[in-house]
Chains A and B, each alone.
Chain A
């Protein structure tokens, strides 16, 4: 083949002619010519009305693997009454090409298991309860153990990692958490203002805001935002390290990936999430105070006087305990999904999403369980 004409898209010639049972092909039978003439050729093949087809290749100059594929698949394009397709008068130089670039006739594919959907579903359920759930609890036990042990063994910690993570998870989250809890405080007060005014129970807006922020909204809101921010980054960081075999490398350097990667994050999260929650409480209550001031004629001094009576240490403690539990859940789900990653870069994306969804679900689930617990005591 000549390369000088390659730039101007080679349009080598292909021509054919049906003579009785014979199909004479001439010229080049390759990707270019087939792209150009295939539809017409296929149409004529579909109208072929004899039981036998002999393809005469004497005039063919060049054949590539697309041409070979076409010749081998001719039957697909022929009507079903054609019993037999043969290639005849194959020029010597094409024999090799036909031989080298044909698939061996119907080689059996080695055992590919194809499941039933019901069995697949069963497998899924089985896997969740027999593998995922126990794995999660093993991880939880391990991380809990090492988190406590490493409080007293600073040798195995990555230097500066606790501080670094604290900034990432805590300090950097301050603006968004402040903003959102302010808005929630405003909205909460605004929605209740109208109702309370009807009954002349304006002052109770303080109870409502203070109790709901400290016991419920503050911890929950903060945990959900942090699950989205830090939970996802924990999962994707760990998953990337697994995919690039960094975790394996750590193991072969006799390091425990849990202690090296997860424990500093756990420590940082357990310290910062309660602090963030406290911030959310304060800012949210402040938001409520603004609305009380504007719409309910409760000025700040009345508001904070009343708050002193309403705010129980127990409520703050409830929120504090909740946020510590949420912190553990977020780090655990992130690492759990991160270590389970399968496949390459796509897998990283998948486990990141999964970790955020699971973390938010677990946070809300735990919140309702704890709600029951604290309610009955």
Chain B
């Protein structure tokens, strides 16, 4: 396993990133790495700064203190041309979906394909339907975002985020508002994207079952500090109180049911 890790490249490197809104400090010296073809989960209670961290990683908030490097792009003071190149290689699912309300779901998914490629209409059409099929929304293609439920909006936004098969996918709470069945289908999709297309995925989620299933690595935030960053197994064995607290409930439930899914992980 170690030998394997040495082969992995860190595609996201964050060093001592700090951020504040006005006088309130939101991120304090955050450092962690995320590796190619892995799923990294960012965890923490709501309001601890996950979305803020994510927006620094995708270059929407300027990096003022510390360093953020994503795929060899250094995001502090990045030039506009470089940012364009960077933006072509990432997919982002925003916490609120951020679909364009004046366009149908299918038109939303088609935006990156039509604006950033020269693919013929037949292939674009196929890809739009494929991506909607992957998130199980093929029947909502012609609806407008306001006609969707919260969970459907999330999935439509995910379809748009993966439209160009980006090497890195950032997803802010994709699971919020989903039923358990759809949730596990979505987990399945993340695994397919990782194994099939070699995607690197950065996920913000609170669903412990999803975390156990998906995460190779977790970053645990608490009031803007990193409490733990490393492989999932390490987090599960951690002695740090908030982390224990976070996993405790779910784990005790599992042991009641006698599930062995944890042991079966290498």
Binary B-proximity of A212-236 (CB < 8 A = 1, otherwise 0): 0000000000000000000000000
Q: Which of A64, A69, A109 contacts B139 (CB 8 A)?
A: A109
Contact check, A103 vs B192: say whether CB atoms are below 8 A apart.
Answer: no
Chain B contacts of A112 at CB under 8 A?
Answer: 142
Decide if B262 is an interface residue (CB 8 Å cutoff): no
Chain A contacts of B197 at CB under 8 A?
Answer: 64-65, 97, 101
Q: Which of A7, A76, A96 has the most CB of B within 10 A?
A: A7
| Chain-A contact segment, one of B56-64, B125-133, B237-245 | B125-133
| Chain-A contact segment, one of B16-24, B114-122, B174-182, B224-232 | B114-122
Chain A contacts of B131 at CB under 8 A?
Answer: 65
In chain B, residues 14-59, which have Cβ atoms closer than 8 Å to a Cβ of chain A?
Answer: 36
Contact check, A66 vs B85: say whether CB atoms are below 8 A apart.
Answer: no
| Chain-B contact segment, one of A288-296, A312-320, A340-348 | A340-348
A103 and B125 alpha carbons, distance in the complex (Å): 11
A7-B85, A344-B101, A346-B101 are known contacts. Are A1 and B167 too (CB-CB below 8 A)?
yes
| Chain-B contact segment, one of A29-37, A180-188, A251-259, A328-336 | A29-37
Contact check, B36 vs A64: say whether CB atoms are below 8 A apart.
Answer: no
Chain A contacts of B134 at CB under 8 A?
Answer: 101
Decide if A104 is an interface residue (CB 8 Å cutoff): yes
Contact check, A100 vs B117: say whether CB atoms are below 8 A apart.
Answer: no
Give chain B's interface residue range (CB within 8 Å of chain A). 35 or more
A31 and B127 alpha carbons, distance in the complex (Å): 11
Chain B contacts of A6 at CB under 8 A?
Answer: 71-72, 89, 167
Decide if B144 is an interface residue (CB 8 Å cutoff): yes
Contact check, A344 vs B127: say whether CB atoms are below 8 A apart.
Answer: no
Chain A contacts of B89 at CB under 8 A?
Answer: 6
Decide if A136 is an interface residue (CB 8 Å cutoff): no
A243 and B144 alpha carbons, distance in the complex (Å): 14
Q: How many Å from the CB of B149 to the closest CB on chain A?
A: 14
Q: Which of A30, A64, A243 has the most CB of B within 10 A?
A: A64
A62 and B200 alpha carbons, distance in the complex (Å): 16
Chain A contacts of B123 at CB under 8 A?
Answer: 66, 69-70, 73
In chain B, residues 81-121, which have Cβ atoms closer than 8 Å to a Cβ of chain A?
Answer: 85, 89, 101-102, 117-120
Contact check, A96 vs B127: say whether CB atoms are below 8 A apart.
Answer: no
Contact check, B126 vs A72: say whether CB atoms are below 8 A apart.
Answer: yes
Decide if A81 is an interface residue (CB 8 Å cutoff): no
Decide if B216 is an interface residue (CB 8 Å cutoff): no
Binary B-proximity of A55-70 (CB < 8 A = 1, otherwise 0): 0000000101110111
Decide if A102 is an interface residue (CB 8 Å cutoff): yes
Decide if B250 is an interface residue (CB 8 Å cutoff): no
Q: How many Å from the CB of B119 to the closest CB on chain A?
A: 7
Decide if A9 is an interface residue (CB 8 Å cutoff): yes
Contact check, B196 vs A96: say whether CB atoms are below 8 A apart.
Answer: yes
Chain A contacts of B145 at CB under 8 A?
Answer: 344
A346 and B103 alpha carbons, distance in the complex (Å): 10
Q: How many Å from the CB of A72 to the closest CB on chain B?
A: 7
In chain A, residues 100-147, which have Cβ atoms closer than 8 Å to a Cβ of chain B?
Answer: 100-104, 107, 109-110, 112
Decide if A4 is an interface residue (CB 8 Å cutoff): yes
Residue of A nearest to B88 (CB): A9
Q: How many Å from the CB of B215 to the closest CB on chain A?
A: 20
Q: How many Å from the CB of A24 to the closest CB on chain B?
A: 21
Contact check, A3 vs B165: say whether CB atoms are below 8 A apart.
Answer: no
Q: How many Å from the CB of A2 to the closest CB on chain B?
A: 8
Q: How many Å from the CB of B40 to the closest CB on chain A?
A: 14
Chain A contacts of B120 at CB under 8 A?
Answer: 38
Contact check, B139 vs A65: say whether CB atoms are below 8 A apart.
Answer: no
A243 and B101 alpha carbons, distance in the complex (Å): 11
Decide if B207 is an interface residue (CB 8 Å cutoff): no
A9 and B145 alpha carbons, distance in the complex (Å): 33
In chain B, residues 178-226, which have Cβ atoms closer than 8 Å to a Cβ of chain A?
Answer: 192, 195-198, 200
Chain A contacts of B127 at CB under 8 A?
Answer: 65-66, 69
Chain B contacts of A345 at CB under 8 A?
Answer: 101-102
Decide if B156 is an interface residue (CB 8 Å cutoff): no
A68 and B11 alpha carbons, distance in the complex (Å): 26
Q: Which of A31, A342, A344, A346 has the most CB of B within 10 A?
A: A31
Contact check, B196 vs A97: say whether CB atoms are below 8 A apart.
Answer: yes
Residue of B nearest to A98 (CB): B196
Q: Which of A30, A73, A100, A343 contacts B146 (CB 8 A)?
A: A343
A346 and B100 alpha carbons, distance in the complex (Å): 10
Contact check, A7 vs B73: say whether CB atoms are below 8 A apart.
Answer: yes
Q: How many Å from the CB of A14 to the closest CB on chain B?
A: 15
A100 and B189 alpha carbons, distance in the complex (Å): 9
Chain A contacts of B164 at CB under 8 A?
Answer: 31
Contact check, A100 vs B129: say whether CB atoms are below 8 A apart.
Answer: no
Binary B-proximity of A1-31 (CB < 8 A = 1, otherwise 0): 1111011010000000000000000000011
Q: How many Å from the CB of B113 to the closest CB on chain A?
A: 9
A69 and B120 alpha carbons, distance in the complex (Å): 11
Chain A contacts of B141 at CB under 8 A?
Answer: 109
A1-B167, A346-B102 are known contacts. Are A103 and B146 too (CB-CB below 8 A)?
no
A110 and B144 alpha carbons, distance in the complex (Å): 16
A131 and B183 alpha carbons, distance in the complex (Å): 41
Q: Give 10 new A-B contacts, CB below 8 A, not counting A97-B197, A102-B130.
A: A2-B9, A3-B36, A30-B165, A31-B119, A35-B118, A65-B130, A65-B197, A73-B122, A101-B130, A344-B144
Q: List 27 A-B contacts (CB under 8 A).
A: A1-B198, A3-B200, A4-B9, A6-B89, A31-B117, A31-B165, A35-B118, A35-B119, A38-B120, A62-B198, A65-B127, A66-B165, A68-B130, A69-B130, A73-B123, A96-B196, A101-B192, A101-B197, A102-B130, A103-B133, A104-B133, A110-B139, A243-B146, A343-B102, A344-B102, A344-B144, A345-B102
Question: A-B pairs with the 8 shortest C-beta distances?
Answer: A344-B101, A346-B102, A69-B126, A64-B165, A97-B196, A7-B72, A100-B192, A69-B123
